[in-house]
Amino acid sequence: MSHVSHLRCVECGREYRPTEVRYTCPACGITGILDVLYDYDAAKKELNHMSLAANKERSHWRYLPLLPLTGRQFIQNLQVGWTPVYKANRVEAELGLKHLYIKDDGRNPTASFKDRASSLSVSKALESGAKAIACASTGNAASSCAGFAAAAGLPCYIFVPKFAPEGKIAQLLMFGAKVMVVDGDYEATFRLSQQAIEHWGWYNRNAAINPIPVEGKKTCGLEIAEQFQGNPPDYVFMSVGDGCSIAGTYKGLKEMHLLGLSQHVPKMIGVQAAGAQPLKLAWERNQPWRPTGADTFADSIAVGVPRNPTKALNAIRESGGRFVAVSDEEIASAMRLLPRLSGVFAEPAAAAAFAGLIQCVNSGIVRSTDRCLVVVTGNGLKDSASAIRVAGAPKLIPPDLDAVRAVVE
């Protein structure tokens, strides 16, 4: 049973009944993204210390009482969420930290954080009787949407910008989505998807239009609070493109606090690429955001026109966190450092979050005793070409021992 009580516009604060509006606020138009709110007292009866301790479900569906579905009927069986949290001892030693944790969301079914949103969105599309689902994405939202749609047998239309890396394109094709690779940037891709979705009446999985996907994303925050036994880290680092992922994770952390299942809410650190930092600049200058370029090889955050700015800015401000911006060199350096010290291979945008941590350590924002968590939002296999470029391709050697000796000694 869904405990959704109402929807509230993040711009004007108007409230709607759960079934009154599907996407954005009629009064504010496309920028009026809605927030899904719950009857938390009712939810608390199903989601509490006792029920969680007894719950054997190792997926994000363990939080069903706090998700906008009426039941389990339309849930796909791909195991999503409840991703592992590791204490990163070797990274701690390198950075001079005492309490560093990594949450590896690259372990999701299609290897990214976005599976949290897509799993819920596909279920919601089915629940609402949609005949197809669609989204625009720099890659991960698309491939995860395609994956869950494939499991469900729901037709899926995907719009990706032409810079999407090979791994993500491969997933889309294999999951049988109808793929539109758009000759343009993410902004052009997004606009085209909106036109097509309206024209054909597909279910809209764009997290910056539809409030449902962010509810899926919040399960990352719900999990963090529970995995840390109600005492989550001081800081949570996440990379930021559209802003939906950090907003969702923050919402989950806040809700666990609201339910009495978490002692505090971490400070959210939003990490943008230096070449695509509209939200960092808006936060820094305390001004409305303005479009910027989208110049970074970290494709998942190559977003100059963020589609969920208000939710993201709220997450940073309310939590007392901050935005930081990292250069492509810092991202490349973080890409090299993290896997060789932890065994966790992050895609460029995921490594950006780690680069943000390194920057905050170097600048003294994070102290050695602070408890920090980095969310790795996508597996490095999503973009092998960037990894090889960053690492430097290995040399071919002839099959003899002297050639090995030259490498070893």
Interface of this chain with a second copy, residues 357 to 376, rule: CB under 8 A: none
Among 98, 285, 340, 367, binds a second copy (CB under 8 A): 340
DSSP for 144-174, written as a single string:
HHHHHHHHHT--EEEEEETT--HHHHHHHHH
**What's the min distance (Å) between Cβ of 175 and a second copy?**
5
**What's the min distance (Å) between Cβ of 165 and a second copy?**
8
Interface of this chain with a second copy, residues 189 to 218, rule: CB under 8 A: 189, 191-192, 195-196, 199-200
What pairs with residue 403 in β-bridges?
none
Question: Does residue 342 touch a second copy according to CB under 8 A?
Answer: yes
**What's the min distance (Å) between Cβ of 99 and a second copy?**
14
> Contact, 259 vs 125, CB < 8 A?
no
Interface of this chain with a second copy, residues 138 to 197, rule: CB under 8 A: 147-148, 150-151, 153, 157, 162, 166-167, 169-176, 178-184, 188-189, 191-192, 195-196
**What's the min distance (Å) between Cβ of 409 and a second copy?**
9
- Residues making up the chain, counted from first to last: 409
Q: Kindly report the backbone phi and psi dihedral angles of residue 393, in degrees, each rounded to the nearest multiple of 5, phi listed first.
A: -65, 145
Interface of this chain with a second copy, residues 234 to 263, rule: CB under 8 A: none
Q: Which stretch binds a second copy (CB under 8 A): 85-93, 265-273, 274-282, 307-315?
A: 85-93
Interface of this chain with a second copy, residues 380 to 399, rule: CB under 8 A: 380-382, 384-385, 387-388, 391-399
| Closer to a second copy by Cβ: residue 53 or 363 | 53
Among 17, 45, 90, 285, binds a second copy (CB under 8 A): 90
Interface of this chain with a second copy, residues 21 to 60, rule: CB under 8 A: 58
Interface of this chain with a second copy, residues 111 to 140, rule: CB under 8 A: 111
> Contact, 304 vs 293, CB < 8 A?
yes
Question: Does residue 107 touch a second copy according to CB under 8 A?
Answer: yes
85: Cβ contacts below 8 Å, ≥ 6 apart: 101, 102, 103, 104, 224, 227, 228, 373
Around 344, how many Cα atoms within 13 Å sit in the side-chain half-sphere?
A: 31
Question: CA 163 to CA 179: how far, in whole Å?
Answer: 14
**What's the min distance (Å) between Cβ of 340 and a second copy?**
3
Task: Enumerate the H helices of 201-262 as residue ranges.
Answer: 211-227, 244-258
**What's the min distance (Å) between Cβ of 317 and a second copy?**
34
Tokens of 91: 């990274």
- To which residue do tokens 């239309």 refer? 157
Question: To the nearest 10°, the Cα dihedral for 188, 191, 195, 198?
Answer: 150
**Amino acid at residue number 181:** V
Question: Does residue 283 touch a second copy according to CB under 8 A?
Answer: no
| Closer to a second copy by Cβ: residue 132 or 281 | 132
